[in-house]
């Protein structure tokens, strides 16, 4: 995607690379890292038809308003195991302010389509956007619980240089500092808005993550997924992070395949 233009690779070109990776390097699990793999459903369906006979396993990113039940089923039949969605917020006003052009109902439908097809879901949320309050954060936590994705991350809003958020934060005097080494979603909060301090944003990130991953039903689900000692180690480390014993993020896609 470049501006308003979309350019997709030909199906033959894409399949040629997948075959090359499988036949020459033994790779059979892929992550399509384009921001919105499903932006052109007609192209996706062509790719799915080409992939289906070959037993590939793969994950991708999607927008909730570009996927439906038919497309999700086709993706599942072609080996899709997990779809990541940028949900951002569970509060309608905060979500609208992101200018993504999606609604909470579209999020419900998009995530639901993947789940109905038997595809795991990974939802990403942002805490600390302009206008964020303790109540809107709770709205996001409640919405994440409602969606009940297989995995989710809560990132702290980070005003990266060159973005509209950075220009607003700079103009309004919200930047705590400009130490670029600290500008990362899972790092320290670097923005102070009138309604949320950096410290409150960091506490909310921890609270939200624990609210999702430490629910009894969630723990039972994770226990049921353990199939090997590797699974036990991965989930034990994740639990220690959530409890604050060690530092780090919840499991990454590479850990949940």
pLDDT in tens, 169-178: 999 999 999 8
Q: Which domain holds residue 42?
A: 11-213
- Let me know if residue 65 belongs to a domain: yes
Q: What does the DSSP assignment read for 115-153?
A: HHTT-EEEEEEEE--TT--HHHHHHHHHHHHHH--SEEE
User: Is residue 232 in some structural domain?
Assistant: no
Question: How far is 72 from 83, CA to CA, in rounded Å?
Answer: 10
Non-local (6+) Cβ contacts of 99 within 8 A are none
Q: Is 236 exposed, middle or buried (0-12, 13-18, 19+ CB in 10 A)?
A: exposed
List of the chain residues with pLDDT < 50: 1-2, 245-257
Does residue 26 belong to any structural domain of this protein? yes
Measured distance CA(40)–CA(45) in Å, rounded: 9
Does a structural domain hold residue 153? Answer: yes
Closest by CA position to 130, among listed 159, 107, 103: 159
What is the enclosing helix (H) or strand (E) of 236? helix 229-242
- The pLDDT score that the predictor gives to residue 115 is 98
Q: How far apart are CA 114 and CA 60, in angstroms?
A: 12
How many domains is the chain partitioned into structurally? 1
Q: What is the dihedral of CA 83, 89, 95, 98, to 10 degrees?
A: -80
How far apart are the C-alpha atoms of 84 and 108, rounded to whole Å? 14
pLDDT of residue 254: 41
User: Which pLDDT value is given to residue 245?
Assistant: 40
Q: Do residues 77 and 39 make contact, with C-beta atoms less than 8 angstroms apart?
A: no
| Confidence (pLDDT) at 200 | 96
Report pLDDT for 106. Answer: 98
The three-class DSSP label of residue 246 is coil
Answer whether residue 84 is part of any domain. Answer: yes
What CATH number is associated with residue 189?
3.30.750.200
> What's residue 241's pLDDT?
59
In this prediction, residue 23 carries a pLDDT of 96
CA gap 98, 79 in Å, rounded: 32
222 belongs to a structural domain: no
Helix/strand/coil for 83: strand
DSSP state of 193: B
**Cα–Cα distance measured from residue 59 to residue 87, given in angstroms and rounded to the nearest whole number:** 17
């Amino acid at each position: 995607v470049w501006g308003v233009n979309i350019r997709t690779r030909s199906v033959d070109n894409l399949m040629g690379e997948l075959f090359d990776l499988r036949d020459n390097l033994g790779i059979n699990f892929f992550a399509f890292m384009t921001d919105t793999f499903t932006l052109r459903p007609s192209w996706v369906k062509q790719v799915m038809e080409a992939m289906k006979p070959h037993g590939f396993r793969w994950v991708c990113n999607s927008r909730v308003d570009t996927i439906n039940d038919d497309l999700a089923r086709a993706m599942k039949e072609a080996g899709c195991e997990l779809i990541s969605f940028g949900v951002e917020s569970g509060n309608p006003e905060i979500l609208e302010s992101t200018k993504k052009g999606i609604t909470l109902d579209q999020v419900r439908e998009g995530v639901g389509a993947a789940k109905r097809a038997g595809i795991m879901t990974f939802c990403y949320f942002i805490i600390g956007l302009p206008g964020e309050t303790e109540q809107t954060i709770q709205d996001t936590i409640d919405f994440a619980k409602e969606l009940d994705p297989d995995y989710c991350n809560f990132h702290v809003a980070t005003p990266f240089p060159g973005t509209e958020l950075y220009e607003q934060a700079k103009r309004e005097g919200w930047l705590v500092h400009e130490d670029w080494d600290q500008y990362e979603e899972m790092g320290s909060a670097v923005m102070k808005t009138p309604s949320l301090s950096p410290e409150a944003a960091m506490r909310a990130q921890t609270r939200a993550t624990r609210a999702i991953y430490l629910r009894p039903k969630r723990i039972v689900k994770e226990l049921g997924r353990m199939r090997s000692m590797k699974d036990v180690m991965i989930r034990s480390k994740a639990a220690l992070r959530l409890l604050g014993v060690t530092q780090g993020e919840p499991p990454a896609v590479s850990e949940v395949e």
